[in-house]
Amino acid sequence: GRVQTLHSSDLRGLDERDLLSQREKEILAQIAAGLETKDIAARLGIAEGSIGPTRARVLAKLRAILENL
């Protein structure tokens, strides 16, 4: 799949609590805990294939924030 490119202007006006969706936060927490894709999917009851696109979205959002620091 194609990695989404976000710029800091795409995030303007968002409250920091709304930057990541609840699902993105859940997946990010599992990634930070060192879990593998299959384990994250099993814990959250979602398809393994949905983890990669969500990870890419989270990284794109974080990258856009860091560009603006």
Q: Tell me the C-alpha distance between 60 and 54, whole Å.
A: 10
What pLDDT was estimated at residue 54? 94
**Residue 12's pLDDT is what?**
64
Question: pTM above the 0.85 mark?
Answer: no
Q: What are phi and psi of 66, to 5 degrees?
A: -65, -35
Q: How far apart are CA 30 and CA 25, in angstroms?
A: 9
Chain segment 5-64, per-residue pLDDT in tens: 666 566 566 555 568 899 999 999 999 999 999 999 999 999 999 999 999 999 988 888
d(CA 44, CA 64): 27
Whole-angstrom distance, CA of residue 6 vs CA of residue 37: 24
pLDDT of residue 29: 95
